[in-house]
Amino acid sequence: MNFKKIISGPLFWILLVLLGLVIVVPLLLTSSGTGQRVDTNIGMELIEQGEVTEARIDDGDSRVDLTLEEPFELDGRTLEGAVHFHFSQARAETVAETIAQADLEGYTDEPEQSNWFLSMLGFMIPFLLIAILFIWLITRMSGGGSRVMQFGKSKAKMFDKDMPQVTFADVAGADEAVEELQEIREFLAEPQKFQRLGAKIPKGVLLYGPPGTGKTLLAKAVAGEAGGSFYSISGSDFVEMFVGVGASRVRDLFKQAKENAPAIIFVDEIDAVGRQRGAGVGGGNDEREQTLNQLLVEMDGFDPNSNIIVIAATNRPDVLDPALLRPGRFDRQIPVEAPDFAGRKAILEVHSKGKPMVDDLDVEQIARKTPGFTGADLANVLNEAALLTARSNADLIDDRAVDEAIDRVMAGPQKRTRLMKDHERRVTAYHEGGHALVAAALNYSAPVTKITILPRGRALGYTMVVPEDDKYSTTRNELLDQIAYAMGGRVAEEIVFHDPSTGAANDIQKATDTARKMVTEYGMSAKVGSVKLGSGDTNPFLGKEMATGKEYSEQLAAVVDQEVRAIIEEAHDEAYWALTENRDILDTLAEELLRRETLGAKEVAEIFAQVRKRPRREVWESSPRRPIVTEDPLGGDPDA
Ligand code: ADP
Ligand code: MG
Ligand code: ZN
């Protein structure tokens, strides 16, 4: 448990308030005595000398209140009327005796009535406050006083007949996801059709992608189209309560859904409960794990014919417990990504209904200005633009309003996307184009299936090459192609801009790793030979250096470095050749990317139809004795 976690939990605050009470309440409740305070000895002296008419002992506070008969001079100050002094417990008896002997009229050692009442109150108040605090916390957590008694009940909102009608038509620019979900809708609407053929209907569907891309919207659309009941609950609803509640909520939720089948259970933000179990030092979060376990149990438990489908959504598929993704659970996984240009246009189309614009403004222009925006961002832009227009008492939304709205949405608190500056976009287009073109010009690369310059996570864009068949091993030529392909992005930047960017760091890392493995693990360097160097298995507790503990000499290490470098330089040359020979195609490709942002396999293939292929590499010669270096990297001259 770290400090932040402790501070954000309620326990910390409860303890803090209690501590405060323990300190403050006694202070508040002790009447601090009347009149001036004097030393114990002086007080006693006053009593003994008969200067006082009245003395009252307050045992609880070890204090004596005195009333002086007449003003009394002491060390230059005048005591008058009421005076008090404190005594230590050790002297309590002496004090009492002294007062008794003084035989005062008003002497009493009875505590006052009000005092007694006060101390009772002092006793009660902390308890009262704790009770109040407790009730307040509970009501706040469950969102209303009336819910206090319903801990275990599922908080899922059920929508039935009066569910807000969302249909697939409301979701734009997510065609692939919609297509997959159409299928789910069919499962729900006509289960017999599939069961007749013995097909198993999927139990769970996971929608994943960045926030605001329409995952929640898609789930609602499935429900709207399928016409069943729809239960929607957010992962964070499960975790906010006390131990054991999340699990019983899950149970309750599934019970309700079964009674109202066909039904969709929608678990939004499932990462809140579905995080990998047992992660983190200190055992993790029991409550969350119980909830997750219950969810798994319920998903395993319901029979595939019960006509319930669980749809979950998350921004963080990477942190999900692998158990959730096993067959029979969320085995359908549908990516929902930030829309490309065409997608943005379609989304703007949907959201611009009822928002009149000036004649020379159309959604295409807005789509052009908003690369990286999600559906939610775009809806926001149009809404802001409408607000700005209304505020300035205009009738039609114009360019300026849209531009300002875009700025506002970008600067907004939930800004997640970023607009790339024009130059950065150009660099990215050439970088990604470089990768793709090198893959196309070499002989052992898989075909390019997708190129995009939409920023995603920390990557500015990416290029995807997918082999046609499953592959279980990779040849030397394929590895060399991979390295050249990795260098392609950087080389394109060099050739076109003569000012390479940091965007290639990851590519360089990958290329270096592959080259090093070729030399130290795959036996693909003739100089080093077919030996495995370094222990290979990484120990997470040791640094990388320690883990691959060098079991070989400095000289051999130098040879390895030389070989790795030679492979990379060769790959650089190949990429350079591919891009300069095909410079016209590179330019066309970059232009198309800037225009359309994402290109699919077909469009890429069209552009690459005329690519000049690089001749095949020299064959790997086999020989009985290879120039393996054992001691001296420079080939045997001892004075070198
Ligand atoms: P997520 O659940 O992925 O974070 P939401 O579904 O909550 O995103 O989207 C928020 C809002 O953004 C939606 O209600 C809708 O108005 C708008 N929106 C998001 N994606 C789309 C889309 N693909 N088509 C139309 N509107 C969208
Ligand atoms: Mg959502
Ligand atoms: Zn790259």
Over the stretch 457-488, which tens digit does the pLDDT of each residue have? Answer: 555 667 777 666 666 788 999 999 999 999 99
Q: pLDDT tens, 188-236?
A: 888 888 888 887 778 889 999 888 899 989 988 888 887 778 888 887 7
Tokens of 609: 């139809």
Residue 31: pLDDT over 60 = no
The closest of 202, 231, 190, 206 to 309, measured between CA atoms, is: 202
Q: How far apart are CA 247 and CA 83, in angstroms?
A: 65
Mean pLDDT calculated for residue range 502-525: 90
Tokens of 441: 């010009």
Q: What percent of the chain clears pLDDT 90, i.e. is strictly above it? A: 21
Peptide bond into 262 cis (omega under 30): yes
Ligand 1 neighbourhood includes 376 CB (under 6 angstroms): yes
Residue with tokens 């669980």: 310
Residue 9 confidence (pLDDT): 61
C-alpha of residue 337 to centroid of ligand 1, in Å = 11
Which residue's CA is the closest to the ligand 1 atom numbered 6? Answer: 214
Residue 472 DSSP label: S
Which residue's CA is the closest to the ligand 1 atom numbered 12? Answer: 376
Mean pLDDT calculated for residue range 605-627: 85
Q: How far apart are CA 215 and CA 204, in angstroms?
A: 15
DSSP reduced 3-state for 516: helix
* Residue 177 CB partners (closer than 8 Å, separation 6+): 171, 207, 218, 334, 335, 336
Q: Three-state SS across 551-592? A: CCCHHHHHHHHHHHHHHHHHHHHHHHHHHHHCHHHHHHHHHH
The string over 609-619, giving b where at least 16 C-beta atoms fall within 10 Å of a residue's C-beta and e elsewhere, is eebeebeeeee
Best-predicted range by mean pLDDT among 348-357, 398-407, 579-588, 631-640? Answer: 579-588
Number of C-alpha atoms within 13 angstroms, CB side, residue 318?
3
Residue 634: pLDDT over 50 = no
Closest ligand, as measured to the CA of 439? 3
What's the CATH fold of domain 157-335? Answer: Rossmann fold (3.40.50)
> Which secondary structure element, helix H or strand E, spans residue 53, and what is its range?
strand 52-58
* Residue 607 CB partners (closer than 8 Å, separation 6+): 585, 588, 589, 592, 599
- Taking phi first (over 0 means left), then psi (-120 to 50 degrees means alpha), and beta for anything else, what does residue 168 get? alpha
Mean pLDDT calculated for residue range 495-510: 90
Residue pair 437/611 in contact by the 8 Å Cβ criterion: yes
455: phi then psi, degrees, rounded to nearest 5: -65, 140
Residue 379 vs residues 114, 370, 382, 384, 587: alpha-carbon distances, Å: 66, 12, 5, 9, 34
Q: How far apart are CA 381 and CA 348, in angstroms?
A: 9
Residue 437 DSSP label: H
Residue 609 confidence (pLDDT): 93
Residue with tokens 């290639």: 504
Residue 465 DSSP label: E
Residue intervals in the chain for CATH 1.10.8.60: 341-411
Residue pair 218/251 in contact by the 8 Å Cβ criterion: no
For residue 481, how far is the Cα from the chain centroid?
36
Q: How far apart are CA 64 and CA 94, in angstroms?
A: 12
Residue intervals in the chain for CATH 3.30.720.210: 32-112
Q: How confident is the model at residue 164 (pLDDT cuts 50, 70, 90)?
A: low
Ligand 1 neighbourhood includes 217 CB (under 6 angstroms): yes
Ligand 1 neighbourhood includes 211 CB (under 6 angstroms): yes
Q: How far apart are CA 269 and CA 206, in angstroms?
A: 10
Mean pLDDT calculated for residue range 501-524: 90
Q: Quick one: which atom of ligand 1 is closest to the CA of 376?
A: 12
Closest ligand, as measured to the CA of 381? 1
Q: How far apart are CA 74 and CA 49, in angstroms?
A: 14
Residue 229 confidence (pLDDT): 81
Residue 260 confidence (pLDDT): 82
Tokens of 366: 């807005």
Q: Quick one: which atom of ligand 1 is closest to the CA of 210?
A: 3
Q: How confident is the model at residue 143 (pLDDT cuts 50, 70, 90)?
A: very low
Which residue in 287, 337, 384, 432 is the catalytic one? Answer: 432
Residue 37: pLDDT over 70 = yes
Q: pLDDT tens, 545-572?
A: 444 555 677 888 888 999 999 999 999 9
Ligand 1 neighbourhood includes 375 CB (under 6 angstroms): yes
What's the CATH fold of domain 32-112? Answer: 3.30.720
Closest ligand, as measured to the CA of 350? 1
Residue intervals in the chain for CATH 3.40.50.300: 157-335
C-alpha of residue 599 to centroid of ligand 2, in Å = 27
Torsion, Cα of 503, 508, 514, 515 (10° steps): 160
Q: Is the dihedral of CA 68, 72, 77, 78 positive or negative?
A: positive
- Of the residues 217, 350, 414, which should be mutated to test ligand 1's pocket, given the most ligand atoms within 8 Å of the CB? 217
Residue intervals in the chain for CATH 1.20.58.760: 422-610
Q: Which strands sit side by side in the sheet containing 157-159, from one edge to the other?
A: 157-159, 229-234, 263-268, 308-314, 204-208, 332-335
What's the CATH fold of domain 422-610? Answer: Methane Monooxygenase Hydroxylase; Chain G, domain 1 (1.20.58)
Residue pair 85/37 in contact by the 8 Å Cβ criterion: yes
What predicted TM-score, i.e. pTM, was given to this entire model?
0.54
For residue 112, how far is the Cα from the chain centroid?
61
Rg (CA), the chain: 39
What's the CATH fold of domain 341-411? Answer: Helicase, Ruva Protein; domain 3 (1.10.8)
Q: pLDDT tens, 406-460?
A: 877 776 543 444 555 678 889 999 999 999 999 999 999 888 888 988 765 555 6
Residue 441 confidence (pLDDT): 95
C-alpha of residue 352 to centroid of ligand 2, in Å = 21
Residue 639 confidence (pLDDT): 42
Residue pair 416/212 in contact by the 8 Å Cβ criterion: yes
Tokens of 554: 């400095």
Query: Is residue 432 annotated as part of the catalytic site, yes or no?
Result: yes
